A and B are shown apart, each in its own frame.
Chain A
Amino acid sequence: MRLRLAIVIGRLVRSLARARGGGSAIPGRIARIIYPKLLDHTVGAIGTVVFVTGSNGKSTTTGMLVAALRAHGLKVFTNPAGSNLPQGLASAVLADVSSSGSLDADIAVLEVDEAYGPIISSELEPDHLVVTNLQVDQLNRFGEPERVWEMIRVVAERTHSTLTVNRREPALLSLAHSLRPGASLRTVDVTDAVIQAHPFGLAAADIFAEPYSSDETATLTLEAVDAARASITDSHGASHSVGLPGEGLHYAVDATLALSAAELLVERFSWERATEALSQMPPVYGRGETVTFSGREFQLVMQKNLPSMQVNLRGITSTPERVWVAVDEGTPDPSWLFDLDLGPITHVDVLTGSKAWQWATFLGYRGVSVGEVIADTKKAMVALAAHSGREPVTSIVNYEQMMKIRRIAGLMDLEGGS
């Protein structure tokens, strides 16, 4: 009865929120207050539940796994990219659930925020857990990666069947010590050649967890990455060419993990279907996206944390014509800038946002010239649009500034598209 009430009220709030163009988390929050077991009694009733968590690549890996499963005819329940907190999951349930509380799905694949994993898994225990990576990320939120590792370990402890990780991340392998009896570790591998070909490697957090020596053969091995294409070898030694949604080692590792999980979850796995599905995935939201304002293109380079920004900066191979940096309180502590290799960036035309002067200080020590500081995002875009030049403005932005820029450019859709 309370489940139905939670669904009815949650949906009502959802309709009102959508009519006002509001956010997607409130309906889920309200539904969970009315019925705290919402996730367990809806998603938990689906035969198989998969969690995808980790520092980076959660949305990409989840999207890839969902695409591969759907390509095999499975009905998949999932949450929109980034809606990975309990209320976001509950809101996703409200969008799809019947009034009696059932979800028409064969499998649930959920992107789960690493910090909320313990809470979500206390309400809904996963059958399978995929951990993308553990990187130094959001130190202002977590303090240190050891704390994130501990939170992921709690989820691993509650996982019923399998844990899938990249065996080149020793800290993630050590999660196997926490698996319950009957649950097993599955790994993917990345060859030395692939790691060495990428200057910043896997950027795995270097923490001292109890070592775990894995005797199992890797389910899949990432053998080569060439631009937006990966070569992955399966356990029978067959090699498969996989198209990626973007260039970079991280996308290739995400794909290897997603395909390994798909291979496990599909009865008659077809590499052809899975790789076709992955090759049709759109570019990941906000990564390398170009928006247009006043006739000028702005290419967005995300500044989330050191490892991901370093990877994103690698895409800049020659000195850009115009460079804009827009960073605000979404990055409370930009100290890690001093660990950054700026590559071919020798000048920044405009600095924007509340962290502009911290950036200016950093750039001064690196000998990078700075044009001007324009604190306001829209004024900066107006100024940059008036600058001469034909190339898109290389725009190094954090998530909050990216959302603001997209709104100013007239792009009103929410992340995840629905």
Chain B
Amino acid sequence: MSITLVRLLPDTLNLNGSLGNAEVLATRMRWWGVDVTVTDVNRGDKLGDAPDLVVIGHGTSSMVTPAGAELDRWRDTLRGWAESGTHWFGAGLGGDLLGESVALDATAPRTPGLGLTEVHTALRANRASTEVSGLDYRGREVAGYLNDAALRETSDAAPLLSFLPVPNDTWQGGNGEQGEGVHSERLWATAVSGPFLALNPHVADDIIASVFAGRGIPLPELTEAHSRVDSAAETARAWIRSRLGGA
């Protein structure tokens, strides 16, 4: 089986290890013997055929305008990809740009996002910079480092990705539950820094399972390589939980 993965705007949205999420997805699939082609699509490039998977990384606030302009230029094609079954993972600003709009602050002009989620984001609110630990949408442990200053609003019905204490209380929606991120059938977006999927491989495998399901293939058993990194990630999460005062 061969899978195509596009890293969208890695020249612009590549902050703090966030493209590590693409590395995690590609590496896990390769460990299962899948032929994964990773293609970078940068500013000014032409888009090709719809890939199986898109990963879009985090960027600084001054990247909103150039990244937003490029996404706007590609809007029809990218939305076409989404409708044709492409899966999406967005980290930080990349995840925000998959939503309705992004603004530098609550009063600044809004840059339209791709509209694949209902989230409106205003950057430069109260910043949280701390490790976090909680549960994901299926009640499994998630952990990471939240370094985030954005205020996000969404509808109450939008399902959160993670249920965890967000110190700056910047995710408004999700039925008033405290958490971050958003997910839908074929989209996952998180505000947690960097390689979220490395520390939380069960979410990575949800994404891969969904991609494989589109080809009618079930998720295989974990290989030794998967088990080794997943065991390290589990201990890393436990240490984070412990540092936060959890059992």
Q: Is A139's beta carbon under 8 Å from chain B?
A: yes
Q: Quick check: which of B45-53, B169-177, B178-186, B226-234 contacts chain A, the rest being far away?
A: B226-234
B145 lies within 8 A of A332 (CB):
yes
Q: Is B4's beta carbon under 8 Å from chain A?
A: no
Cβ–Cβ < 8 Å partners of A329 in chain B: 243
B236 lies within 8 A of A364 (CB):
no
Pull 9 A–B residue pairs with CB atoms less than 8 Å apart, ordered by A: A136-B16, A139-B16, A145-B60, A332-B131, A338-B194, A339-B16, A339-B17, A360-B235, A365-B229
Q: Is A335's beta carbon under 8 Å from chain B?
A: yes
C-alpha spacing A44/B181, complex, angstroms = 50
B147 lies within 8 A of A143 (CB):
yes
A207 lies within 8 A of B62 (CB):
yes
C-alpha spacing A357/B239, complex, angstroms = 8
A144 lies within 8 A of B60 (CB):
yes
B66 lies within 8 A of A208 (CB):
yes
Q: What 19 new A-B contacts, CB under 8 Å, besides A339-B17, A365-B229?
A: A136-B16, A139-B15, A139-B193, A141-B129, A144-B15, A144-B60, A144-B61, A329-B243, A332-B131, A333-B129, A338-B23, A338-B195, A339-B20, A357-B236, A360-B229, A361-B199, A362-B20, A364-B228, A365-B27
Q: Which range contains the number of A residues in contact with the other chain?
A: 20 to 34
C-alpha spacing A205/B19, complex, angstroms = 17
Q: Is A294's beta carbon under 8 Å from chain B?
A: no
Contacting A208 at CB < 8 Å: which of B20, B63, B195?
B63
Overall SS of chain B's interface: helix
Cβ–Cβ < 8 Å partners of A102 in chain B: none
Cβ–Cβ < 8 Å partners of B232 in chain A: 357, 360-361, 364
Q: How far is the CB of A187 from chain B (nearest CB, A)?
A: 22
A139-B147 contact in complex given A361-B229, A365-B27, C-beta closer than 8 Å: yes
A146 lies within 8 A of B61 (CB):
yes
B235 lies within 8 A of A357 (CB):
yes
B20 lies within 8 A of A140 (CB):
no
C-alpha spacing A373/B243, complex, angstroms = 18
A365 lies within 8 A of B199 (CB):
no
Interface string of A173-210 (1 = CB under 8 A from B): 00000000000000000000000000000000101110
* CB-CB contacts below 8 Å: A354-381 with B: 354, 357-358, 360-362, 364-365
Q: How far is the CB of B98 from chain A (nearest CB, A)?
A: 20
Contacting A338 at CB < 8 Å: which of B66, B198, B243?
B198
Which residues of A line the B interface, CB within 8 A?
136, 139-141, 143-146, 205, 207-209, 329, 332-333, 335-339, 354, 357-358, 360-362, 364-365
C-alpha spacing A361/B20, complex, angstroms = 12
C-alpha spacing A142/B36, complex, angstroms = 36
A361 lies within 8 A of B194 (CB):
no
Q: How far is the CB of A377 from chain B (nearest CB, A)?
A: 16
Q: Is B127's beta carbon under 8 Å from chain A?
A: yes
Cβ–Cβ < 8 Å partners of A335 in chain B: 16-18, 20, 145, 193-195
Q: Which residue of B is nearest A144, CB measured? A: B60
A209-B239 contact in complex given A143-B147, A143-B149, A365-B24, C-beta closer than 8 Å: no
Q: Is B42's beta carbon under 8 Å from chain A?
A: no
C-alpha spacing A357/B230, complex, angstroms = 11
C-alpha spacing A329/B243, complex, angstroms = 10
Cβ–Cβ < 8 Å partners of B23 in chain A: 338, 365
B198 lies within 8 A of A207 (CB):
no
A364 lies within 8 A of B229 (CB):
yes
Cβ–Cβ < 8 Å partners of B62 in chain A: 146, 207-209
Interface string of B213-247 (1 = CB under 8 A from A): 00000000000010011001101100100010000
Q: Which residue of A is nearest B240, CB measured? A: A358
C-alpha spacing A335/B15, complex, angstroms = 9
Q: Is B65's beta carbon under 8 Å from chain A?
A: yes
Q: Which residue of B is nearest A140, CB measured? A: B129
C-alpha spacing A136/B16, complex, angstroms = 9
A333 lies within 8 A of B229 (CB):
no
Q: How far is the CB of A190 from chain B (nearest CB, A)?
A: 22
Cβ–Cβ < 8 Å partners of B18 in chain A: 335
A354 lies within 8 A of B61 (CB):
no
Q: Is B190's beta carbon under 8 Å from chain A?
A: no
A140 lies within 8 A of B147 (CB):
yes
Q: Which 3 pairs from chain A and chain B are nearest by CB?
A: A335-B194, A338-B20, A364-B229
Contacting A339 at CB < 8 Å: which of B14, B24, B145, B229?
B14
C-alpha spacing A337/B23, complex, angstroms = 12
Q: How far is the CB of A352 from chain B (nearest CB, A)?
A: 13
B16 lies within 8 A of A333 (CB):
yes
C-alpha spacing A225/B238, complex, angstroms = 46
Cβ–Cβ < 8 Å partners of A140 in chain B: 129, 145, 147
Cβ–Cβ < 8 Å partners of B229 in chain A: 360-361, 364-365
Interface centre among A144, A207, A329 (most CB of B within 10 A): A144
Interface centre among A136, A145, A207, A364 (most CB of B within 10 A): A364
Q: How far is the CB of B145 from chain A (nearest CB, A)?
A: 4
Interface string of B11-39 (1 = CB under 8 A from A): 00011111110011001000000000000
C-alpha spacing A357/B198, complex, angstroms = 11
C-alpha spacing A360/B192, complex, angstroms = 20
Q: Which residue of A is nearest B91, CB measured? A: A335
Cβ–Cβ < 8 Å partners of B236 in chain A: 357-358, 360-361
B17 lies within 8 A of A336 (CB):
yes
Q: Which residue of B is nearest A171, CB measured? A: B62
Q: How far is the CB of A61 from chain B (nearest CB, A)?
A: 25
Cβ–Cβ < 8 Å partners of A207 in chain B: 60, 62
C-alpha spacing A143/B147, complex, angstroms = 7
Interface string of B187-221 (1 = CB under 8 A from A): 00000011100110000000000000000000000
Interface centre among A143, A209, A337, A354 (most CB of B within 10 A): A143
Q: Which residue of A is nearest B201, CB measured? A: A361
Q: How far is the CB of A346 from chain B (nearest CB, A)?
A: 16
Q: Which residue of A is nearest B243, CB measured? A: A354
Cβ–Cβ < 8 Å partners of A144 in chain B: 15, 60-61
